Amino acid sequence: MTYDWTLWIVFILIGLATTLPRGSFIILGERASLPEGLQKALRYAPAAALAAIVVPDVVLVGGVVEVLNPKLAAAFAAVLATQVSRNPWLPFIVGMGVLLGLRHFL
């Protein structure tokens, strides 16, 4: 199998494109700071990324939104358990209990 030299250039460019922006904040330190508005917006990035991954799996069943969805009911129960108690294990227990119960009966 022969490899073209352009493949190596692409690898190097992709590596630089991912490393330079991250490394620039380490190297430049305080001299390169993000604007205050962008810093405030970036605080919500992890929650937004997690929601973008989880919500479609919870809401959709076979690509269609269903009202009687065991995953949606379990997620609602877990959120409700979070609001009622400060116990970090309770949402997992309640959510899995509702999910397994509804899957068994539906």
Q: What is the pLDDT of residue 46?
A: 94
- Find the mean pLDDT for residues 28-49: 87
Q: What is the pLDDT of residue 33?
A: 77
Q: What is the pLDDT of residue 52?
A: 95
Residues of 8-39 as b/e, b for ≥16 C-beta within 10 angstroms?
eeeeeeeeeeeeeeeeeeeeeeeeeeeeeeee
Domain boundaries of the chain, sorted by first residue: 1-33, 45-105
